[in-house]
């Protein structure tokens, strides 16, 4: 199909606005974790993991100049509430209230609703992060129809790379993935004249997932009208040029937001009658509850030497985990060695037997006993879709 219809462009713009809200919410979640605003809290002898107090978050937004006053801060949080990014810990309140109430990001308890559109968005974000985190020659300045464009992808080379990374099994399916990414506003033809096709046409990422968003952007329905931050690693903005030149300028990064890798949103659901989260999947009903807690699940840290000591209590296991559209379904934390901090009961890792408290020995054949969790997470994120994890756990006697 030559040319992109107005209806498709409109749909892509709508999905892009939805994606902007998701990215903005995720960036806020990471900042709140880092600032210890999100933490385990107790009320009436019950512990509520990974939550924040509504009144405190309003204070925080004003203090960090994300909102000018309480009304604006409440409107911002209500926007996140309406988009199912946050919710009351017991779902007893159907709106965000500036009170001493506990709220939680749905990503922290696995209850974020993943419809087909959200899954495509998450897939696009994962591909984007993988592409930006690996050394390759895919993104280059190129020319099409006499116009020069920066940070472009050749469709056929992009498909080759996706196949190499194990994102899709066949070339035909990979081309369909490219078409879905375009239809969802994640990539675009450089002059917006063509759909995604396997060949020599040039494409660019339309979204910059790493750009630091201002929360005030949530209140603007036309998010794309707000200028991109010049520190963006993939900022696409038109140059003011003569003669109708429609090339884009790409800005290199000088700083990046932290990204939590190898985490899968899925079917965990919270129960206000308990401090943990239980699998809603009937096939895993016999599994023990998994607690998503930012504090270490380890009773004590173990050294690499202790793990590998002959005759020791630790046994080795190997798991082959095939990631789905969202990830692999586990969280790595700690250092020298890292350990499995959380496992999504409905995810790929749980399906093959991975459990919390296991120590990570190797990733795809590479020994990682001396690495920290950020390095290990990056190895997993930038590796193939199928990851081979070698772990050690304490044997039962």
Name which of 201, 210, 165 is nearest 182 in CA terms.
Answer: 201
- From first to last of its 397 residues, what are the pLDDT tens digits of the chain? 445 556 656 666 666 677 778 888 888 998 899 889 999 999 888 889 999 999 999 999 999 888 889 999 999 999 999 988 899 999 999 999 999 999 999 888 888 776 667 778 778 888 888 888 777 789 889 999 999 888 899 999 999 999 998 989 999 999 999 998 988 888 989 998 899 999 999 999 887 776 667 787 777 654 343 333 332 222 222 233 333 333 222 222 233 323 333 333 333 323 333 222 222 222 222 233 333 345 678 888 889 998 888 888 889 999 999 876 567 888 888 888 999 988 887 778 888 899 988 999 999 888 999 988 888 887 887 778 788 999 999 876 4
Give the CA count within 13 Å in the CB-facing half-sphere of 302.
23
Strand order through the sheet with 202-205: 140-144, 147-154, 202-205, 187-189
Q: Report the sign of the C-alpha dihedral through residues 250, 253, 257, 259, in that order.
A: positive
Query: Which of 101, 126, 117, 165 is closest to 26 using CA atoms?
Result: 126
Could you give the 3-state DSSP secondary structure of residue 50? strand
Q: Does residue 165 sit in helix, strand or coil?
A: coil
Beta strands in the chain (DSSP E): 39-43, 46-53, 86-88, 102-105, 140-144, 147-154, 187-189, 202-205, 235-238, 248-251, 268-270, 277-279, 314-322, 330-334, 338-343, 359-363, 366-367, 386-394
Cα 151 to Cα 137, 203, 324, 335, 336: the distances in Å are 10, 9, 28, 36, 37
CB 179 within 8 A of CB 195: yes
CA atoms within 13 A on the CB side of 222: 4
Closest by CA position to 48, among listed 1, 109, 85, 89: 89
pTM over 0.85: no
Least Cα distance to 275 among 73, 26, 44, 83 occurs for 44
């Amino acid at each position: 199909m030559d040319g992109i219809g107005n209806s498709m462009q409109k749909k892509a713009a709508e999905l892009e606005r939805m994606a902007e809200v998701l990215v903005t919410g995720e960036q806020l979640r990471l900042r709140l974790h880092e600032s210890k605003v999100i933490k385990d809290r107790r009320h009436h002898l019950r512990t509520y993991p990974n939550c924040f107090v509504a009144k405190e978050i309003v204070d925080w937004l004003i203090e960090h100049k994300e909102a000018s006053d309480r009304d604006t801060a409440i409107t911002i949080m209500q926007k996140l509430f309406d988009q199912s990014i946050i919710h009351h810990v017991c779902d007893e309140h159907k709106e965000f209230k500036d009170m001493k109430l506990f709220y939680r990001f749905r990503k922290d308890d696995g209850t974020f609703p993943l419809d087909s559109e959200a899954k495509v968005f998450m897939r696009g974000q994962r591909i984007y992060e993988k592409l930006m985190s690996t050394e390759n020659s895919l993104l280059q300045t190129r020319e099409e129809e006499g116009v020069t464009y920066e940070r472009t992808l050749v469709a056929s080379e992009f498909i080759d790379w996706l196949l190499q990374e194990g994102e899709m099994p066949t070339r035909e399916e990979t081309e369909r993935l490219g078409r879905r990414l375009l239809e969802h506003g994640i990539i675009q033809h450089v002059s917006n004249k063509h759909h995604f096709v396997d060949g020599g046409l040039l494409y660019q990422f339309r979204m910059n997932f790493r750009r630091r968003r201002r929360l005030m952007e949530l209140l603007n329905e036309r998010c794309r009208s707000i200028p991109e931050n010049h520190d963006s690693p993939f900022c696409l903005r038109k140059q003011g040029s003569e003669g109708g030149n429609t090339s884009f300028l790409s800005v290199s990064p000088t700083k990046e937001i932290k990204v939590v890798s190898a985490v899968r949103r899925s079917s965990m659901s919270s129960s206000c009658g308990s401090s943990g989260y239980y699998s809603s999947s009937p096939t895993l009903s016999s599994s023990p509850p998994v607690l998503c807690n930012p504090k270490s699940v380890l009773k004590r840290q173990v050294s690499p030497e202790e793990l590998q000591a002959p005759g020791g209590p630790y046994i080795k296991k190997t798991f082959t985990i095939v990631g789905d559209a969202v990830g692999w379904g586990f969280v790595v934390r700690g250092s020298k060695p890292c350990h499995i901090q959380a496992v999504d009961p409905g995810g790929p890792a749980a399906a093959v037997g991975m459990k919390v408290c296991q120590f990570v020995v190797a990733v795809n054949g590479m020994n990682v006993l001396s690495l920290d969790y950020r390095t290990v997470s990056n190895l997993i994120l930038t590796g193939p879709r199928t990851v081979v994890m070698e772990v050690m756990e304490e044997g039962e006697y």
